[in-house]
Every structure is written in structure tokens, then in C-alpha cells.
Amino acid sequence: MVKMTGMKCKVYIEDVSTGKILAGQRNATLSRSAESIDATSKDTAGFWKESVAGFKEWSIDCDGAFVQDDAAYNILETKFINIENVNVYIELPSGTKYKGNTNITDFSLEMPYDDLLTYSISLQGSGALTVEEVTPL
């Protein structure tokens, strides 16, 4: 089993034909969750609650150093202004990709007087998150 650091895990923003790496990216979090629907009834054995899986959702939160004229950042800027969804993926060093369509729910620039200009972005999944595994040769 190979362990890896997050240093080589990168966020890509899809353009018409290819994915463009989000320059300056420092941190990224892929969050996945599912609802739990209570299925308990009076005839549930042993008075233990029962549940069934409900709808799932996913999101990506990302931040980094702002790089002016970055193609991926410019795609995000345009999509945010035009209220359009954007396709994204996170690629691990193994080549595995977590991909999906998202809407931009937060898009911030932080401009401290004594540090780098940084961005943060929150992307809410719209539909399924897919996982593309790389098969070894």
C-alpha cells in the first residue's frame, strides 16, 4: 500500500477540450456525504433504530495563491459572473480522477497588506461524482 502526500494532488478546471490546472493551488478538500433516512417502526427488532441510505452530495473547497492571467482561474471567473456550472476534477499522483459538474457557491479574494493575494473557492457538486481509476499495465 502506497501512502502519499497531498502536495501532488491537483485541481483542474475543464475547458471545452482539456483540463487546466488551477495555478497557485495550495489546499483542496473533497467532501462526500449521504443522507440517512430513518426507517424505524414499532416492529423494529430490539428497539434499535433502522436507517436506509438517502441522497448523496459532494463538494470541493480549494484555496491558493492568486496567479494573474491563469487560464483555469479565468474560466472560474467567467463562469461565476455568468452563473454557469463548471466541470472540475481532482487528480491524484496515481492518475485517479474525481470528476463532476459543479456550481460555484463561494469565490473569494483575500488581499492582506502583508502577505500574498489569495483566493478561495467552494464548488457544490451538481449530479454524480465519478471516479476514474487508472488500471496498472
The pLDDT averaged over each successive group of 10 residues in the chain (137 residues) is 86 89 96 95 90 96 96 96 97 94 97 96 98 81
Task: Output the pLDDT for position 134.
Answer: 82
CA nearest neighbour of 104 among 51, 61, 67 = 61
What is the model's pLDDT at position 2? Answer: 77
pLDDT at 5: 86
Q: Check residue 62 and give its pLDDT.
A: 97
- DSSP for 30-74 reads EEEEEEEEE---TT-GGG---EEEEEEEEEEEEEEE--TT-HHHH
pLDDT at 45: 85
What pLDDT is attached to residue 4?
A: 84
- What is the DSSP secondary-structure string of 5-36? -GGG-EEEEE-SSSEEE-TTEEEEEEEEEEEE
Q: Alpha-carbon distance 2 to 23, whole Å?
A: 26
| Per-residue model confidence (pLDDT) at position 44 | 86
pLDDT at 116: 95
